Amino acid sequence: MTTALWRRALAEGVGTAVLVAVVVGSGIQATVLSHDVGVQLLANSLATVFGLGVLIALLGPVSGAHFNPVVTLAAWWTGRRGRDGLAPRDVVAYLPAQIIGAIGGAILADAMFARPLVRWSTHNRFAGHLWLGEIVATAGLVALIFGLSRTGRAHQAPVAVASYIGAAYWFTSSTSFANPAVTIGRAFTDTFAGIAPASLPPFIAAQLLGGALGLILVTAVFGRLSPSAADEVVLPHGEQQLAEPLTTKAP
- How many structural domains compose the chain? 1
Neighbours of 247 (CB within 10 A): 5
Check whether 231 has a pLDDT greater than 70: no
Angle between helices 157-171 and 128-150 (to 10 degrees): 160
Domain harbouring 92, CATH code: 1.20.1080.10
Report yes or no on 129 lying in a domain.
yes
Q: Is residue 246 part of a domain?
A: no
All residues at 6 or more sequence positions from 90 whose CB lies less than 8 Å from its CB, including other chains: 5, 8, 72, 76
Which pLDDT tens digit goes with each residue over 54-72? 999 999 999 999 999 999 9
d(CA 212, CA 206): 10
Highest mean pLDDT among 23-27, 219-223, 233-237: 23-27
249 within domain boundaries: no
Residue ranges making up the domain that contains 29: 5-237
DSSP state letter for 197: G
Amino acid symbol at 81: R
Burial class of residue 202, CB neighbours in 10 A (0-12, 13-18, 19+) = middle
Note the pLDDT of residue 85. 76
In angstroms, the CA 72 to CA 181 distance is 11
The pLDDT of residue 223 is 83
Residue 66 falls inside a structural domain: yes
